[in-house]
Amino acid sequence: MASDGLIQSLTAAFEAVPLIDPHSHIDPLSPVSKSLDDILGYHYYTELAHSAGMSQKLLAKDADPRERCREIIRHMDRYDNTAQYGWFVEIARHFLGFTGTRVTVADADTLFDASLKHFAAADWEQRVFAKTNLEKIFLTNEFDDSLDGFDTDKYVPCLRTDTLVFQFLSVGVRERLAAVTGIDAGDGPNLRKAIRALFERFVAKGAKACAISLPPEFTPSEDGNRIFWMLAENCREFGLPFDLMIGVNRRVYENGVHQGQDLFDRRCSLIQYRELFNAFPEVTFPVSVLTSGQNQELVAYSWIFPNVVPNGHWWYSNIPAYIGSDLRERLQCVPKTKLIGYYSDAYKLEFVLPKYSMYRRILANTIADEFVRPGRLTETEAVALGTRLLRDNVKEIFQLG
Amino acid sequence: MASDGLIQSLTAAFEAVPLIDPHSHIDPLSPVSKSLDDILGYHYYTELAHSAGMSQKLLAKDADPRERCREIIRHMDRYDNTAQYGWFVEIARHFLGFTGTRVTVADADTLFDASLKHFAAADWEQRVFAKTNLEKIFLTNEFDDSLDGFDTDKYVPCLRTDTLVFQFLSVGVRERLAAVTGIDAGDGPNLRKAIRALFERFVAKGAKACAISLPPEFTPSEDGNRIFWMLAENCREFGLPFDLMIGVNRRVYENGVHQGQDLFDRRCSLIQYRELFNAFPEVTFPVSVLTSGQNQELVAYSWIFPNVVPNGHWWYSNIPAYIGSDLRERLQCVPKTKLIGYYSDAYKLEFVLPKYSMYRRILANTIADEFVRPGRLTETEAVALGTRLLRDNVKEIFQLG
Amino acid sequence: MASDGLIQSLTAAFEAVPLIDPHSHIDPLSPVSKSLDDILGYHYYTELAHSAGMSQKLLAKDADPRERCREIIRHMDRYDNTAQYGWFVEIARHFLGFTGTRVTVADADTLFDASLKHFAAADWEQRVFAKTNLEKIFLTNEFDDSLDGFDTDKYVPCLRTDTLVFQFLSVGVRERLAAVTGIDAGDGPNLRKAIRALFERFVAKGAKACAISLPPEFTPSEDGNRIFWMLAENCREFGLPFDLMIGVNRRVYENGVHQGQDLFDRRCSLIQYRELFNAFPEVTFPVSVLTSGQNQELVAYSWIFPNVVPNGHWWYSNIPAYIGSDLRERLQCVPKTKLIGYYSDAYKLEFVLPKYSMYRRILANTIADEFVRPGRLTETEAVALGTRLLRDNVKEIFQLG
């Protein structure tokens, strides 16, 4: 089979694997876009347009959505080299009836109109699920989010804990915790009870993970941040994996667009998690690192610690150049049963398709180069390996039924 | 078109683009080499020869230039694997009538003689400009350099500020500043006036940038180094980009050859520039990083901050392996209008050709792989993209007429 | 010649080069394996099996070796994607008569039986040497190891100094030093005499290097760790290269398998060695770095400092993805005479073959891509370049007869 044929064949096989997306920011009560504005309002586009010179005036809440979209698209000729632009073209083609290969400002109104039409379909959510070959998708729930009114088998709850760990002393947090648990966490024992009550509540609703994003300097310890440590204790008790998303500094660009203000200090090491990984051998820690430069640590710590597993390709590393090298390194020295291949991190379901599509192409190329062409795996075995990264490991590690 | 044909075609198209080289150390009053000694005296060769075992005796100022060149060339059989050796072969072929593919000690005298002959041509400077397809080249001027006696449209002045920021208290600096501005910077207000006078002087002479190289630990702040902050304020007032060249430790190898003593501590982060980037949204900061490991930060900060733009491939990262991966990462996630592709950093004009030649090959390969072969750009569009990195962005970002 | 033909031809030429392996942990009195248990007891397999879920019960000293091997092999279907698994298959094929391409638990007993049979051959050691095309291999000797009873021309002694530098105050170390040197190192002058006596003893037995592994934060200085500095002084006096293996944190995973507990903090810089490299220009420092992220520093420091040379691909970086990029970077900017290509780090001789085999494939591909295909070297010259990295430089740098 010719080289291109191999890649096409592997990619097609991977496209046939129903996806379980283990990390997103989907709102289960409003999972799909209502207009093009929901698509182009994604921070990847507002960031790039703003970075390339677009003023923020049209990004204000009360600005006209159609004008906003036109302006973001008008700036695309400044950032149409990016991977993120590629996702948008794919969305336009798959979900908006677009047939071209490049989107320019001349397409803005047509696309906006098409979005209103297509997205208004009564079964739009189901259509997106079907077209994406999506089976389940994990949520990122605040501790006091309602977990009712949606199918938790499809939209899997996940307890996001940034607020508890880093803003517990902010106005209203303790009250919110009391409201949802019935426990006023005014002292250590009650705090412990309240946190435990959250886990009971989430697990009862089918939650499959606890998650948190952490700044580069964070170093968990039993004598340090008490709430963080309690979360790990509850993960142990309730058998939940604890997703660690390591390395983000919040609000670095103070006047950046919404969700486009966070950056990082690459001087961060997994050695900071030494005490945690040793203290909780029973807890699985799916670890995402923000920088590709930290991938070798993630590889080595996953190779040594049974409870550390590499998790997807996060944010600033969710770019083909980084995914490709990070994936290759992981495949060469971490047990394949420990590799959670990818997650979309999406805010709207329409983004799951183009993001996984990008990942599947890289996965096909990497497995072809590393395993099939050198004769280490047959094509059938290669499909099994890719399927493991795409789906099987997600099911096993997060203990989905 | 066959794969090789595509690369050749793109490379040829890029060679036809007149160069504007936005960073060099050219002396406009002595821009070209006078003998082979000016070529091989470049620190890249003295460093490699010394590192490979050459004694420093012949590097003394009063040593015989012909013998020095012979000795540096004699050692080439120890470093003819390097990219820097490749530049030299290209110089020999383009500027010295050399027709071979490898230079050995047997060629030393012939090359030396050829250099005396060719470089003595009355129009040598013009010939180098023509052969290099060079239109303009930026200088690196000390604050009190004379800016007269040369064509500032061709040799674009640039205010280099290392001395002011890091050696202001050294003997003679304040006097030099007073001599050139007429202001004795004995207190804060007068220091401010003197710095401003420098900008007036440089801008009047057509300066297009302010520049500085910075050690890895440097963290600018309004309450920190006052002169640095004043420079940024003046860049804002006078509309000059402020080139930041981040990450060099000076004099690490104390007994190294001239200009071959500097190295680095890779533990450096752009988070150190958080306050600066926020405080001066009106100032464009073309940022060079010394290590490829910092490229992901440069990519991310350029993607988020409108005023941060990636600038070329500096010094220890000006090597094909690093240029290739750094360029690919930038092309995948930074708006293309913000990418300053390359600068030569040359001390003599003869080096502009081989250095840009290396870059153009990598640029052609990267654009072919990333955009043309996957069908994202036609060849014509690919040429436009490369031209943007090579020239258009330099014109726009540095506001050349 | 077709592309594959070129790689095959280069690889064959490299296989014909007799190996001098400049770093291993071979016990010269028991250099080869006695059973499959010696092969699979290598920490790379126990680590991966444990990381993939194998309990440590069978790893206890008194557990049944055959059962242990069966269990480690049973878990291979969880880590058969790794480079380390690839080494094992190659060992099975070369040394155990295995003819398949994949090892599964069904092969466990056959392989165990085969190991007992093959490894019991009276000339097994010679056969491994011959099949591996191995000429000499360096040892890693504790300061009070016996250096008698083996051929020191084949098994080259090397003074390993971790214990002296980092555990001198531990119980028994001073006594051991007194026992082997006859000097009680109770004060500075006597410590100096005792250290010097060690060097005399080792050099008399043909030692060719002093070596040490160092934690990431270690910063040698004349006023810091006195024993370390004395070692460098003795390396200078006795003309021994001082191997620095930089970056390992010991016992990070406290309950890890034997030798599977060490990890690292990637925030480590060669700037920490500035004083050392300057103070000892006469001492050659072959430097190994634990992380690929530090390779650019290693490249730059080797390019500038005559006494710093890059040494192999160590431990967590001894993986194709890292070897490939690190090697390419070194070849592009460090004098070729300074590149020590590889060492096996093996505990048993059977591992030298598969590890070098992996390296030779990468070396052939890298040299083909960087030098032969672009027309910079003929195939004959390319073989010479590879031979230099594999053998010539080892002979020259460690001054083997």
- Per-residue pLDDT reduced to its tens digit, B190-203: 999 999 999 999 99
Q: Are B169 and B102 in the same domain?
A: no
Contact C82 A296 (CB under 8 A): no
Domain end position, chosen among C98, C119, C140? C119
Q: Does residue B207 sit in the same domain as residue B109? A: no
Looking at the structure, tell me whether residues A198 and A278 fall in a common domain: yes
Residues sharing a CB contact under 8 Å with residue B71, sequence separation 6 or more, in sequence order:
B49, B54, B58
Query: Which residue in chain C is spatially nearest to B255 when comparing CA positions?
Result: C278
DSSP B206: T
- Which chain C residue has its CA at the smallest distance from B319's CA? C332
Interface contact C376-B53, CB threshold 8 A: no
Single out the residue in B69, B89, B119 at which a domain terminates.
Answer: B119
A77 found inside a domain: yes
303-332 of A, contacting C, C-beta below 8 A = 303-306, 325, 328-329, 331-332
Distance from CA of A269 to the nearest CA of C (A): 6
Q: How far apart are CA A272 and CA A214, in angstroms?
A: 12
Residues C105 and C147 in one domain: no
Query: Is residue B15, in this structure, part of any structural domain at all?
Result: no
Of A80, A260, A321, the CB nearest to B304: A260
For residue C339, what pLDDT band results from cuts at 50, 70 and 90? very high
The per-residue b/e assignment along B57-81, b for 16 or more CB within 10 angstroms, e otherwise, is: ebbeeeeebbebbbbbbebbbbbbb
My answer on whether C100 and C156 are in the same domain is no
Is the minimum CB–CB distance between A291 and chain B shorter than 8 Å?
A: yes
- Tens of pLDDT along chain B (401 residues) come to 445 899 999 999 999 999 999 999 999 999 999 999 999 999 999 999 999 999 999 999 999 999 999 999 999 999 999 999 999 999 999 999 999 999 999 999 999 999 999 999 999 999 999 999 999 999 999 999 999 999 999 999 999 999 999 999 998 999 999 999 999 999 999 999 999 999 999 999 999 999 999 999 999 999 999 999 999 999 999 999 999 999 999 999 999 999 999 999 999 999 999 999 999 999 999 999 999 999 999 999 999 999 999 999 999 999 999 999 999 999 999 999 999 999 999 999 999 999 999 999 999 999 999 999 999 999 999 999 999 999 999 999 999 97
pLDDT tens-digit readout, C21-49: 999 999 999 999 999 999 999 999 999 99
A52 and chain B in contact, CB less than 8 A:
yes
Which of A300, A325, A375 has the CB atom closest to C263's CB atom? Answer: A300
Of B88, B119, B150, the last residue of a domain is B119
Pairwise CB contact (< 8 Å): C81 & A274:
no
Same domain? For B270 and B309 the reply is yes
pLDDT interval class at C384 (50, 70, 90): very high
CB contact under 8 A, C50 and A306: yes
* Chain centroid to CA B113: 29
- Residues from chain B contacting residue A83 (CB–CB below 8 Å): 332-333
Query: Is A190 among the domain residues?
Result: yes
Find the DSSP H helices in B205-294. 226-238, 274-279
Q: Give yes or no for B168 touching C (CB within 8 A).
A: no
CA distance A295 to chain C (A): 10
Cβ proximity of C323 and C313 under 8 Å: yes
Residue A278 belongs to what domain range?
A: 124-397
Does residue C295 belong to the interface with chain B, where contact is any CB pair within 8 Å? Answer: no
Q: Which residues contact residue B339 at a Cβ distance below 8 angstroms, ignoring those fewer than 6 apart?
A: B309, B310, B330, B331, B388, B389, B393
Residues C115 and C130 placed together within one structural domain of the fold: no
Question: Coil, helix or strand for A140?
Answer: coil
Question: Could you tell me if C271 lies within 8 Å of chain A, comparing CB atoms?
Answer: no
| pTM score above 0.90 | yes
| CATH code for the domain of A278 | 3.20.20.140
Q: Which of A48, A80, A292 sits opposite B296 (nearest CB)?
A: A292
Residue A385 maps to a domain: yes
pLDDT in tens, C105-149: 999 999 999 999 999 999 999 999 999 999 999 999 999 999 999
C-alpha distance from B174 to closest chain C C-alpha (Å): 32
Predicted confidence (pLDDT) at residue C275 exceeds the cutoff of 70: yes
B126 part of a folded domain: no
Same domain, B114 and B139: no
> Same domain, yes or no, for C201 and C103?
no
Query: For position A239, what pLDDT does the model report?
Result: 98
**Amino acid letter, A40:** L
Q: Considering only CB atoms, which chain C residues are within 8 Å of A246? A: none
pLDDT digits (tens, 9 = 90+) for C191-246: 999 999 999 999 999 999 999 999 999 999 999 999 999 999 999 999 999 999 99
How many CB atoms neighbour CB A205 within 10 A? Answer: 16
Is residue C53 in some structural domain?
yes
CA distance B351 to B342: 13
Closest-CA distance, C249 to chain B, in angstroms, reads 18
A121 min Cα distance to partner chain B (Å): 31
Residues of chain B with Cβ-Cβ distance to A263 below 8 Å are 270-271, 274, 297, 300-301, 304
Closest CA to A19 of A378, A386, A356, A385: A356
The pLDDT, as a whole number, for residue A401 is 78
Mean of the per-residue pLDDT values of chain C: 97
Q: Is residue A17 included in any domain, yes or no?
A: no
**Does residue B106 sit in the same domain as residue B45?**
yes
Answer yes or no: are the C-beta atoms of C388 and C339 closer than 8 Å.
yes
Task: Name the DSSP letter for residue A82.
Answer: S
Using a CB–CB cutoff of 8 Å, tell me whether A267 touches chain C.
yes
Separation in Å, CA of C280 to nearest CA in chain B: 11
| Interface probe, candidates A289, A296, A377, chain C, greatest C C-beta count within 10 A | A296
Can you give the pLDDT at residue A1? 42
Interface of B with C in 173-192 (CB under 8 A): none
Give the CA diameter of chain C.
67
DSSP string, C147-186: --SS-TTTEE-EEE-HHHHHSTTSTTHHHHHHHHHS----
pLDDT > 50? residue A177:
yes
Question: pLDDT class for C3, splitting at 50, 70, 90?
Answer: low
**Same domain, yes or no: C140 and C114:** no
CATH number at residue A85: 1.10.2020.10
Alpha carbons within 13 A on the beta-carbon side of B291: 29
Cα–Cα distance measured from residue A246 to residue A193, given in angstroms and rounded to the nearest whole number: 27
Query: What integer pLDDT is reported at residue B3 of this predicted model?
Result: 57
State how many domains chain A has: 2
3-state secondary structure of B380: helix
Same domain, B108 and B212: no
Please name which of B90, B82, B3 lies closest in space to residue B364, comparing C-alpha atoms. Answer: B3
Distance CA C347, CA C31 (A): 8
Residue A25 in any domain: the answer is no
Query: Is residue A364 a contact partner of residue A11, using CB atoms and an 8 Å limit?
Result: yes
